[in-house]
Amino acid sequence: MHKLMTVLMILCLTALSIGGCGDSNSTTSAGGSVTVKNSSLPVATKDTTFKTILGASGGKTPYKWSIETGNLPAGLTLSSDGIIAGTPTALGSFTVVFKVTDSSSPALETTTPLKINVSTLVFAPSTSGSALYGDHCAYCHLTLGSATQQHKDATLAQIKAAIASDTGGMGEFGTGGVFPLTDAELNLIIAAIKNPSGYVAPTFTTTTLPAGTVGSAYSQTLTAKDGTLPYKWSTMGGDPIPAGLTLNSSSGVISGTPTVAAVANVTFMLEDANPSTMVHQSITVTINAVAAAPDGVALFTSKCAGCHGGSVAAFNHKGATATTIQNAINTNYMGMGTATLKALTVDEIAAIATAVK
């Protein structure tokens, strides 16, 4: 039990209450009594207007209310007629001992402790761990950096077990509690305690690059995540970037017009604004040679000669264009819609049209 409480103190998962809601430590003067009607107070929401009224019975009205011990949450005030109002600006559980005095002579008075809980709107699971810690824990346990190694080793299972058993009042962080925290939120807080600075080293998100072609403009951008901007890009070891291409050290753009075919295994290096952080990633940059132009005569001979005179010279449709040939294939003109002819590429049909002129 002691280990669980120690592990979780830094998470601010300790009891926030001095006494249970409505636990009475009332005292009265001789000759009569005044009783506080409130056994509990409604939950307030941080940064949202709040108002509630304290009530009493017995003695002689009007009553006068004051605070005997404790403090209201920041942003709330108590009027002498028992109205607690304002806009709370701090999260937490605040036990205040209220005193009510009647108008008798001598006056009758009573004190009783009541707890005011200031909760928050629902946290999105994506809220940062440091923000969650700040909202739930910092007002009680100082900064994230105060965590010991033992605290940093705390696990979700340990925390949930302590919450489930309400160790030290930690049930307030469980389902139905004043400050319910989801597993996702607890994990974010744990991660923040393990890494108080919040710094995460950068990593490459680009791990592959599309191939380029000799003589054709090429442009691709290396990308990464995390770390601290700005990034600085470079290469180290491995093969050089293919000839004709350059790497912009600020933007990570690889651009240019490659001049030779190559398959280069390039090791790219990334540095962020943290001077001690450098990461690298090996990426293959492929530049293909320009494909040879289709041989129109050979294509005609293998695909068309059987139906059209046996040779280009014997072909009697000299005015045929790539468009008319494609249309004939598409419409199966004179039986030309065969699978073999449909498989011809645009460049191959253009080559045939050039060869038969």
Domains of the chain: 1-198 (2.60.40.10), 203-288 (2.60.40.10), 296-355 (no CATH)
Report the candidate in 130, 60, 73 with the shortest Cα–Cα distance to residue 100.
60
Predicted local confidence at residue 131, as pLDDT: 74
Euclidean distance between CA atoms 12 and 133, whole angstroms: 8
Euclidean distance between CA atoms 323 and 241, whole angstroms: 41
Euclidean distance between CA atoms 355 and 357, whole angstroms: 6
Report the candidate in 190, 174, 255 with the shortest Cα–Cα distance to residue 222.
255
Residue 11 has pLDDT above 50, yes or no: no
Residue 124 has pLDDT above 80, yes or no: no
What is each CA distance from 189 to 10, 36, 131, 144, in whole angstroms? 10, 40, 9, 9
Per-residue pLDDT tens for 264-289? 999 999 999 886 788 999 999 999 99
Euclidean distance between CA atoms 79 and 66, whole angstroms: 8
Predicted local confidence at residue 170, as pLDDT: 65
Burial of 306 (0-12, 13-18, 19+ CB in 10 A): exposed
Per-residue pLDDT tens for 149-165? 556 777 888 878 877 88
What's the token pair of residue 229?
């901007």
Residue 26 has pLDDT above 50, yes or no: no
- Location of structure tokens 């109205």: 83
Residue type, position 343, single letter: A
Predicted local confidence at residue 141, as pLDDT: 52
The answer to whether 340 touches 303, Cβ cutoff 8 Å, is yes
From the DSSP assignment, how many helices (H) and strands (E) are in the chain? Answer: 10, 18
Per-residue pLDDT tens for 227-276? 888 999 999 988 999 999 999 999 999 999 999 999 999 999 999 988 67
Summarize the chain as % helix, strand, coil (round to 5): 25, 25, 50
Q: What angle do CA 151, 156, 160 make, to 5 degrees?
A: 105
Instruction: Read off the pLDDT band of 213 (50, 70, 90).
Output: very high
The answer to whether 219 touches 246, Cβ cutoff 8 Å, is no
* DSSP-derived pairing of the beta strands 212-213 and 278-288: parallel
Predicted local confidence at residue 145, as pLDDT: 67
Per-residue pLDDT tens for 51-93? 888 988 999 999 999 999 999 999 999 999 999 999 999 888 8
* Dihedral angle sign, alpha carbons of residues 304, 308, 312, 315: negative
Instruction: Read off the pLDDT band of 179 (50, 70, 90).
Output: low
